Amino acid sequence: YQKGPKAEVNFLAVMLKRLTITGSTLRIRSVEFKGEIAAALKEHIWPEIEKGAIRPVVHATFPLEKADDAHRLMESSAHIGKIVLTTAKAGETQS
């Protein structure tokens, strides 16, 4: 972690778990550059999210009490998309 541009990775484990590897080099960028990116996201991307044109892919939703089931699903790699845990609002109970 943060030891430079080279790393050893067991890609078999990555592929078996269907992981995604992402990276960013923004750490070395100026505050101004990062601000420009944030402004562009606010101008171009957030409106699309607000319109519903960009949405997360949700595979399944579980009440918090079923977190063990959600975790088993995650470990099985049988999902495509997010696994969401929900909580009850104040004064409500989850079924």
Q: Which domain holds residue 49?
A: 26-55
| Contact assessment for residue 77 and residue 18, using Cβ atoms and an 8 Å cutoff | yes
The torsion angles phi and psi of 59, rounded to 5 degrees, stand at -80, -45
Q: What is the pLDDT along the chain (95 residues), one digit of tens a residue?
A: 456 667 787 888 788 877 777 777 788 889 999 999 999 999 999 999 999 999 999 999 999 999 999 999 999 988 889 999 999 876 676 66
**Per-residue pLDDT at 95:** 60
Query: Does residue 10 form part of some domain?
Result: no
Query: Does residue 80 form part of some domain?
Result: yes
**62 and 95 housed in the same domain:** yes
**60 and 95 housed in the same domain:** yes
**51 and 79 housed in the same domain:** no
Domain total of the chain: 2
Query: Does residue 71 form part of some domain?
Result: yes
**Per-residue pLDDT at 94:** 65
**Three-state secondary structure call for residue 63:** strand
Query: Does residue 21 form part of some domain?
Result: no
**Per-residue pLDDT at 1:** 47
